[in-house]
Amino acid sequence: MTSFAGIRTIRPVSVDFTEGIKWYLAFVFSTTAHEAAHAWTALKLGDDTAHRGGQVTLDPTPHIKREPIGMVAVPILSYLLGGWMIGWASAPYNPKWAMQYPKRAAAMSLAGPISNLIIVILAAVCIRIGMAGGYFEPPDRMTFARVVDAHTSGGFFVASFLSIFFSLNVLLCTFNLLPLPPLDGSGVVMFFVSEEAAPRFLELLYSPALRMFGLFIAWRIFGVAFPAIQLAAVNLLYPGLHYQ
C-alpha cells in the first residue's frame, strides 16, 4: 500500500540540529509503524506481498531500503533547507487481491492511520502520567513541537520528543485519511463500494494523473485544515483549558 507519511509542518525556518534528530527519529518510527500496520493487516487478510518483502516489522531497515528517497533524503533535506520535514514510505500489495477482496483491501488501508492514532494515544498517556507525577505541565502557548512543557530543564528533551510524536502522528493519521488518491483514505472508501464496482474504482485510483491531482488537492486542503485539527487534539489532551 502506497501512503504518504509526511507533509509540510509549520515550523520556524532556523535549523536546530538537536531538534532535527528528534524529528527524524519520530518520523522514521511513525512511518515504519504505519507501513508495518499495512503489511501486517494484508498478511492476516490473505496478501503476503509485503511480508515477503520483510515489511511486517518495526525494524525500519526494510522500509528504508524500499523508499530511501522518501524516508532519508527528502526528510533530511527538507528540514535542513526549509526547517520543516516531509517524506513518504510504502508497502507493496497485490492489486488482484485488492480487486478480489475490496473490503479486506479497505481494512489494510485503514490500518496505517490507526497505527498513528495508537501512537497519539500512547504519547497522550505518557504526557498525562508525567503531569500526574509533577514532571510536565501544559504550555503557555501551544505549537506543533510544544504540546507539553517540563518543570525542569532535565525533562525538556522528553517533553519535546513527546510533543513531536503527538503532533506528527495526529498529522499522519488525519492527512492519510483524506479520501483522495494516493492517500489511504481513498482505499478506505472501498468499505462503501459494491464488489461489482470495486475493480473499476480501484483502476481509477491507480491512475497516475488522478494520484498527482489528488495529492495536490489534499496538500492544499490540509494546509488550511491542520491547525484546527491539532488544536482540537490538544484540547482533548487538556480538557477545560481551551487553547485557541
Would you say residue 151 has pLDDT above 90? no
Q: What's the rounded mean pLDDT across residues 99-116? A: 96
Distances (CA, A) of 183 to 127, 130, 193: 30, 34, 17
Indicate whether 13 belongs to any domain: yes
Which of 198 and 58 is assigned the larger pLDDT? Answer: 58
Indicate whether 14 belongs to any domain: yes
Q: How far apart are the two ends of the chain, measured CA to CA in Å? A: 36
Instruction: Give pLDDT tens digits for 79-104.
Output: 888 877 889 999 999 999 999 999 99
Q: How many domains does the chain have?
A: 1
Instruction: Residue 141: give the domain boundaries.
Output: 2-197+220-237
Indicate whether 212 belongs to any domain: no
Would you say residue 14 has pLDDT above 90? no
Q: Which residues pair with 212 in a beta bridge?
A: none
Q: In the structure grid, which three cell numbers stand for residue 130, read together? A: 508525567
Indicate whether 213 belongs to any domain: no
Q: Is 132 helix (H, G, I), strand (E, B) or coil?
A: helix
| Mean pLDDT over the full length of the chain | 91
Indicate whether 125 belongs to any domain: yes
> What pLDDT band is residue 69 in, cutting at 50, 70 and 90?
very high
Q: What percent of the chain has pLDDT over 90?
A: 76
> What pLDDT band is residue 8 in, cutting at 50, 70 and 90?
very low
Q: What's the rounded mean pLDDT across residues 172-180? A: 96
Which of 10 and 157 is assigned the larger pLDDT? Answer: 157
Which pLDDT belongs to residue 4? 54
* 153-141-117-132 Cα dihedral, nearest 10 degrees: 50
Instruction: Give pLDDT tens digits for 47-67.
Output: 999 999 999 999 999 999 999
Which of 105 and 81 is assigned the larger pLDDT? Answer: 105
Which pLDDT belongs to residue 7? 42
Would you say residue 78 has pLDDT above 70? yes
Which pLDDT belongs to residue 2? 54
**Which amino acid is located at 137 in the chain?**
E
Indicate whether 210 belongs to any domain: no
Inter-residue contact 237 to 147 (CB < 8 Å): yes
Count Cβ atoms below 10 Å from residue 147 Cβ, excluding itself.
28
Q: Is 151 exposed, middle or buried (0-12, 13-18, 19+ CB in 10 A)?
A: middle
- What b/e sequence results for 213-237 when a residue is b if at least 16 CB atoms lie within 10 Å of its CB, and e otherwise? ebbeebbeebeeebeeebeebbeeb
Indicate whether 211 belongs to any domain: no
* C-alpha closest to that of 25 among 150, 161, 157: 161
Which pLDDT belongs to residue 10? 39
Distance of alpha carbon 18 from alpha carbon 21, whole angstroms: 5
Indicate whether 183 belongs to any domain: yes
Inter-residue contact 27 to 60 (CB < 8 Å): no
Count Cβ atoms below 10 Å from residue 139 Cβ, excluding itself.
18
Which pLDDT belongs to residue 98? 93
Strand (E) or helix (H) holding 89: strand 89-90
* C-alpha closest to that of 74 among 120, 135, 31: 31
- What b/e sequence results for 28-62 when a residue is b if at least 16 CB atoms lie within 10 Å of its CB, and e otherwise? bbbbbbbbbbbbbbbbeeebebbbeeebbeeebeb
